[in-house]
Structure 1
Amino acid sequence: MLSTVTQSISYIIHMLDDLMEARISMERLDDVFQSRLEQSEQSQLRTLVNMKGHVSFENVTFRYEGDGKNILQNVNLEIMAGQTVALVGRSGSGKTTIANLLMNLYSPSSGTIRVDGHDLRTIDALSLRQKIGVVQQDTAIFRGTILENIAFGQEDVAFGEVEASAMLAGAHDFINELPLRYDTMIGEGGIRLSGGQAQRIAIARALLGNPPLLVFDEATSALDTESERKIQNNMELIVKNRTTLIIAHRLSTVKHADRIVVLDQGVTVESGTHEELLQAKGLYYYLVSQQL
């Protein structure tokens, strides 16, 4: 009798937990329905056609709505077309926020962000994001074939384009060793693939369509040394003839960037090449020494 009562109480508690989760989910869904349409719906915005990849942040300050704390403070940053720039700094220094602002996921609280000289607020967000390839730490792999995973989000893609992207990402060789090659089924989250293989699939997807701007946001931080090395061996080809923004915690991945920008508490405190920053013996020197 006591056991039955205990089981019933436990069942009710689980039901209450499920109801609470459902309520939270409904509130989040309601927030989506209530949110305003993105500016890209407005016909007067500029559509990017031929993007060169010149990026500039001019006195950019950012804080989340309702939060008085600035995540970024008067950031000035210029990335020339075709240049590779790395952002480094402690966790919470604002590195990923810069990438999110560049992709127009948020608008700066003050200051201006420009792409090819155009204020980001005047550019159609969809046309901007179609020109940016993004690789993040958490690799988005879904259940389907490798071909479907690489071509995800692209319409009317020829197999040759997929294959070329895979070659550039260093994925083609291991794909050809799989039973059905590009038609091999993989599970959600990259089941049947190693971490390095899944990340190379993600890089191939980002490269498809030859985007003029690439963003690597902690793309190799969760990989083992061997997987990271294989990706780094291809980086020179990957970044060739395109603007690349690399956000990294593992500083061994940014040594060959054209320029390294160091952030601390939302402020840019150093900028230079790997060798220049080591000689300066500032925050970058300290961060590198902590990883040796």
Structure 2
Amino acid sequence: MLDGRDLWDYEHRFLHRKVALVSQSPALFARSLHANIAYGLGEQSPEEVRQAAQRAGAHRFIDGLSRGYNTDAGDTGGQISGGQKQAIAIARALIRDPRVLILDDVTSALDTESQQQVENEIYEGTARSRRSVLLISHRLRTVERADRILVMEEGQIREEGTHQQLMRKRGAYWQLLQTQQNGAEGQRPQAGEWASVAEALNSSL
């Protein structure tokens, strides 16, 4: 459902304009980093691409490359690291200014500084743009500021609430947080363990 209507009621081109997805293993193309960020949008100025990269925490590493934004990503992005691919994919989503942004564990390969940049964009940038963010994450630290947290097990919602509410319940969310604080931060839960999905902000198209 989207705004109370079945997704099938929407014309797919409309959804493509309004919804952006960044997956755990994003696909890049054998072309420049500039072209990868602006992919599918036609001509985008260097300044527009740079601003999107800054918001995604990608500008810092791109600026350090000898060819900068003209660097070829290589086939499937093979010329850059996994974390850099994630940052480029996030920039590619943000430059579209989507009303709904879906992020599937996208900070898993980012360095600490880039991860902090992305988290700031998720929460502070979302508040400014009135964007809805669906953040799927196993790193509970990244979802603590979400407006609504859903804890899922085997496809079923087991708990729902804010970080403070779920901590007071001392249920599955609390247990997983204790596990991560004791040294399992960032590890993907094994079969049968708890994962979390956080919706950072509610918005309307």
2:136 is aligned with 1:247:
yes
Deviations 1:218-242 (A, max 9, x none): 1123445565345334433443321
Deviations 1:54-107 (A, max 9, x none): xxxxxxxxxxxxxxxxxxxxxxxxxxxxxxxxxxxxxxxxxxxxxxxxxxxxxx
Q: TM-score, normalised by structure 1?
A: 0.56
Distance 1:227 1:167, change over 3 A: closer
**Distance (whole Å) between structure 1 residues aligned to residue 47 and residue 87 of structure 2:** 17
Alpha carbon RMSD of aligned pairs, Å?
2.1
Query: % of aligned pairs identical?
Result: 42
- Flag the 1:139–1:238 CA change in 2: closer, same or farther, 3 A: farther
Task: List alignment gaps of at least 5 residues for structure 1.
Answer: 1-112
Which amino acid is 2:160 matched to? Answer: S
Measure, in 1, the Cα distance between the counterparts of 2:96 and 2:70: 20
User: Structure 1 stretch 211-220 or stretch 161-170: which is displaced more?
Assistant: 161-170
- Segments of structure 2 that go 5 or more residues without pairing to the other structure are 182-205
Q: Report Cα offsets for 1:142-169 as digits up to 9, x if no partner.
A: 2211111101122233333222211211
| CA gap 1:178/1:245 in 2 versus in 1, 3 angstroms | same
Matched, 1:167 2:48: no
Alpha carbons 2:103, 2:134 under 8 Å: kept: yes
State the TM-score, normalizing by the size of structure 2.
0.77
The answer for the alignment partner of 1:77 in structure 2 is: none
Verify: 1:194 aligned to 2:52, yes or no. Answer: no
For the pair 1:231 / 2:118, whether they are aligned, the reply is yes
Larger radius of gyration: 1
> Which secondary structure state, in structure 2, belongs to the residue aligned with residue 235 of structure 1?
helix
**Cα distance between partner residues in 2 of 1:243 and 1:190:** 28
Instruction: Tell me the amino acid that sits aligned with residue 145 of structure 1.
Output: S
- From 202, 206, 209, give the equivalent of 2:93: 206
Q: Secondary structure at the match of 2:75?
A: coil
Partner of 1:140: 27
3-state SS, counterpart of residue 270 of structure 1:
strand
* Residue 271 (str. 1) matches residue 160 (str. 2): yes
Question: Which structure shows the higher strand fraction?
Answer: 1
Contact 1:195 1:227 in 2 (8 A): no
Q: 1:129 maps to which residue?
A: 16
Alignment pair present for 1:152 and 2:35: no
Letter in 2 for 1:197: Q
The total of aligned residue pairs comes to 179
The residue matched to 1:186 in structure 2 has which SS? coil
Change (3 A) 1:160 1:202: same
